[in-house]
Structure 1
Amino acid sequence: MQIVKHDININFVGRRKLALIFSLLLVVAGLVSLIARGGPEYGIDFAGGTLIQVKFSEATRAADIKSALKGMHLKGLLVQKFEGDSQEFMLRLQDTSSELEGMAQQVGAHLEQAYGKGTVDIRRVEMVGPQVGKDLRKKGLMAILFAMIGVLIYITIRFEFKFAVGAVIALAHDVLITLGAFSLFGKEIDLPIIAAFLAIIGYSLNDTIIVYDRIRENIGRHPKQSFDQTVNGSINETLSRTILTSGTTLLVVLALFLFGGGVIHNFAFAMLVGILIGTYSSIFVASPVLLVWDDMKKRRNATAS
């Protein structure tokens, strides 16, 4: 299926400086937000604590729920509404001791006193110790790091080292911008989000390899072309495939984001941002890095001679 004309020739390479400025703005905005917030906002999986998911029969407010639970003296109570649902809330506590095993029932009893019997449904209770959360956080970060190292080795073997560097820079760019988006929108990082980051790495890498394959083919097919022309032509030749693949995937993820419910909302948000940024980076980050590398090599050779 041909989405764009086969002879299209958009000057992507000529716009790489504008793309660099755009990428830097996104990365810096995310980093500033992370610094201002004191780091990512970790969920129960990584921060430790207790989570109780509650659904009410009628719409209510977080302030009213806190007021109803005031007599329990719960440590670090945070009440958060589910996306798009005024009846379902997440209660987060810093307490994780074994003495709190019956806490969900106590919370339910206190809420029913305020809202009426049968109006409160405790849907989920999770408890993670602080040490376990710290260990999970470390393993999640290591999983992303090892994925990057694996990509570096794989692309070095399949292509060249300069291609591997371009791919890893693009992947780091995608993860940083997605992480920054989570900080800017105040969303939590938990185990499913780490899975989303790894999925983003895989998706973005697939797009990048398609472009790299075409660049390698065209180097052999058009040896007299400048490297800039070869890279730009390769991006244009794979553009139809990129739009088709990214567009169909984006529709599925958008449906999950809009209609998937609160439990999957953050995962879908990560994938939504990741697919958009991953498609962009395959064109405007991974490939231009090759041009920078080539320019540096030419300068070194000119200096040596």
Structure 2
Amino acid sequence: MDIFRDSNFNFMGWAKVGLVISVIAFVASIVALFGLGKLNIGIDFAGGTELVLRFDELPSLEDVRSLAAEVSGGEPLVQRFGAEEDREILVKTPLVEGSEEGLRERLTARLDERFNSDLAGRFDLNQRGSAALASLLLEADPDGRGALDEEISDEERRVAMAAYYEQVAEAVVAERQRDGLLESWSELDAVEEVTPAVRQLLESETALGSYAVLRTDNVGPQIGAELRAKGLAAVFFSMIGMLVYIWFRFELRFGIGALAATVHDVAIALGAYALAGYEFNLTTVAAFLTVVGYSVNDTVVVFDRVRENLQQSRGGDLKELMNRSLNQTLSRTILTSGTTLLTVTALFVLGGEVIRGFSYVLMVGIIVGTYSSIFVAAPIVLIWDRYFPRKV
């Protein structure tokens, strides 16, 4: 489909205006990043603790946020995780000096005071692991395994009992993990390993807390610094790789233009991301690497057409050839960018909070990348050619 057939827009006539706009946007992004300190560094790079909690009844996010703030002494990130009917909450707390091992224990203790105050210290079947449950069952021996096999030694009997109750405990925990939370004792009816005696003991000696910790991640300061360095290195070397590739495939001037456009796109997308307040994490780095690839791909399409036109019109004016090439690839640029933008926008609107930051980077990157292919990469090539003309 050629929606701009025989177009003759004077893009290079607006090159200076485009570059001025780009410089202003670039400087504003740098100010937002370093002057205002707007970038919200996630625990992947800054260090901290991340928990995913599932509740029997979804509590107020503000209640959970205030508890997390008390524990961490900072500003935790608390948001709904997944669909509303899942009743899951994501909690991220910043790194606290002296608690590099993480804040899970302190946070769950405060959550228990708020949401499990009725348990009175009883064994929480939604919190404890299979090892602790197996130990409780072994001591109580509800199935009377200690009275069996009288011919074996006490040590052998103890080992056999431990293996038996470990299997029972693992089956109970597996049932809890299947849905994330045990909400009623009737759910244990589906567990073959749970005998009536075991169930009676569990109902009398344990309790079903109002929430469960589905996942815990803790990132220490050293790991955070390492991930930060590797993330920056990934973006840097990807851009250098693009420069070298375009240098060899085309010419150095085209590589410089593509590199300038890529730096422009990443900086502005990063500034917009910082102003939006989304958390910067490893997923965000993946989004920026995608932006780098998309930006260079769009630029390469334009430069490839410029090369073809240069071969057909040797000695022709580079500015006129650049304009012609941009007009010839305009339909492809608009259609590709437009359809991709529609998909990413749908992801941004409907994808949920977890991937909203990722899709936001792609949205901004596609728009800025399309702009930079025309008003940054191409003018930079012309400027380079003016000061460093190609020797024929």
| TM superposition score normalised by structure 2 | 0.69
How far off is 1:242 after superposition?
A: 0.7
Kindly tell me: are residues 175 and 9 of structure 1, through their superposed partners in 2, closer, same or farther at Cα, counting changes over 3 Å? same
CA contact (8 A) 1:69 1:111 kept: no
Secondary structure of residue in 1 paired with 2:218: strand
Work out which of the residue numbers 327, 334, 349 in structure 2 matches 1:236: 327
More moved, 155-164 vs 117-126: 117-126
Question: Is 38-47 or 85-94 further displaced after alignment?
Answer: 85-94
In structure 2, C-alpha distance between the alignment counterparts of 1:192 and 1:73, rounded to whole Å:
26
1:10–1:236: 8 Å Cα contact kept in structure 2?
yes
For 1:84-125, what per-residue CA distance to the aligned partner results, in whole angstroms no more than 9, with x for missing partners?
999745341324543745456435423414899866564442
Aligned residue for 2:354, secondary structure, equals helix
Distance between the aligned counterparts of 1:84 and 1:4, measured in 2? 42
The corresponding residue for 2:94 is 93
State the alpha-carbon separation in 1 of the partners of residues 373 and 319 from structure 2. 16
| Superposition map of 1:140-179 within 5 A | 140-179=231-270
* Conserved 8 A contact 2:79-2:91: yes
Q: CA deviation at 1:59?
A: 6.3
**Residues 248/83 of structure 1: CA separation in 2 closer, same or farther (3 Å cut):** farther
Unaligned runs of 5+ in 2: 120-207
Given the superposition, is the C-alpha separation of residues 265 and 35 from structure 1 closer, same or farther in structure 2, using an over 3 Å criterion?
same
Q: Does 1:188 align with 2:279?
A: yes
CA contact (8 A) 1:77 1:91 kept: no
Structure 1 runs (4+) greater than 6 angstroms displaced: 83-87, 114-118
Q: Which residue of structure 2 aligns with residue 80 of structure 1?
A: 78
Q: Tell me how far 1:167 sits from its aligned partner.
A: 0.5
* CA 1:203–1:79: 2 relative to 1, 3 Å: closer
Question: Which has the higher Rg, Structure 1 or Structure 2?
Answer: 2
What is the SS of the residue equivalent to 1:50? Answer: strand
> Quick check: 1:68–1:110 contact (8 Å CA) kept in 2?
no
Distance 2:277 2:54 in 1: 22
Q: Distance between the aligned counterparts of 2:226 and 2:283, measured in 1?
A: 16
| Amino acid of the structure 2 residue aligned with 1:109 | D
Partner of 1:3: 3
Going from structure 1 to structure 2, the CA distance change for 1:227 and 1:266 (only over 3 Å counts) comes to: same
What letter corresponds to residue 265 of structure 2 in structure 1? D
Query: Percent identity, aligned pairs only?
Result: 42
Which residue in 2 is equivalent to 1:272? 363
Are the structure 2 counterparts of residues 79 and 142 from structure 1 closer, same or farther at C-alpha, using a change threshold of 3 Å?
Answer: closer
Distance 1:241 1:220 in 2: 21
Equivalent AA in structure 1 for residue 11 of structure 2? F
Aligned residue pair count: 297
Q: 1:42 to 1:66 in 2, by over 3 A?
A: closer
Shift of 1:83: 9.4
> Structure 2 residue aligned with 1:253, among 337, 344, 347?
344
Change (3 A) 1:125 1:34: same
For structure 1, list consecutive stretches of 5 or more residues without a partner in the other structure. none
Paired with 1:10 and 1:99, the residues of 2 have a C-alpha distance of 58
Q: Secondary structure at the match of 1:23?
A: helix
1:13 is aligned to 12
Contact kept, 8 Å, 2:68 with 2:93, in 1: the verdict is no
What does residue 44 of structure 2 align with? 45
TM (norm. structure 1) is 0.87
CA 1:69–1:205 in 2, change beyond 3 Å: closer, same or farther? closer
Matches of 1:92 and 1:162 in 2, distance apart? 47
Residues 246-287 of structure 1: CA deviation (Å, up to 9, x unaligned) = 111111111111111111111111111111111111111111
- Indicate if the aligned counterparts of 2:15 and 2:375 stay in contact, CA closer than 8 A: yes
Shift of 1:224: 5.2
Alpha-carbon deviation of 1:173?
Answer: 0.4
Q: CA RMSD in A?
A: 2.9
Pairs within 5 Å for 1:187-226: 187-223=278-314, 225-226=316-317
Q: Per-residue displacement from partner, 1:121-141 (whole Å, max 9, x unpaired)?
A: 644422101100000000111
Verify: 1:26 aligned to 2:25, yes or no: yes
Instruction: Provide, for residues 180-234 of structure 1, a one-character-per-residue CA deviation record: whole Å limited to 9, x for no partner.
Output: 1111112221111111111111111111111001001111212353211100000
Worse overlay, 248-257 or 232-241? 248-257
Greater shift, 261-270 or 224-233, is seen at 224-233
Tell me if the contact between 2:38 and 2:277 (Cα under 8 Å) persists in the aligned partners.
no
Aligned residues of 2:43 and 2:92 also touching (Cα < 8 A): no
Q: Cα gap change, 1:297/1:73 in structure 2, threshold over 3 Å: closer, same or farther?
A: closer
Please say if residues 108 and 121 of structure 1, whose CA atoms lie closer than 8 Å, have aligned partners that are also in contact.
no
Asked whether the equivalents of residues 69 and 110 of structure 1 are also in contact (C-alpha less than 8 Å), the reply is no
Q: Distance in 2 between matches of 1:153 and 1:254?
A: 32
Give the whole-Å Cα distance in 2 for the aligned partners of 1:37 and 1:111.
37
Give, as a single letter, the amino acid of the residue that structure 2 aligns with 1:297.
Answer: F
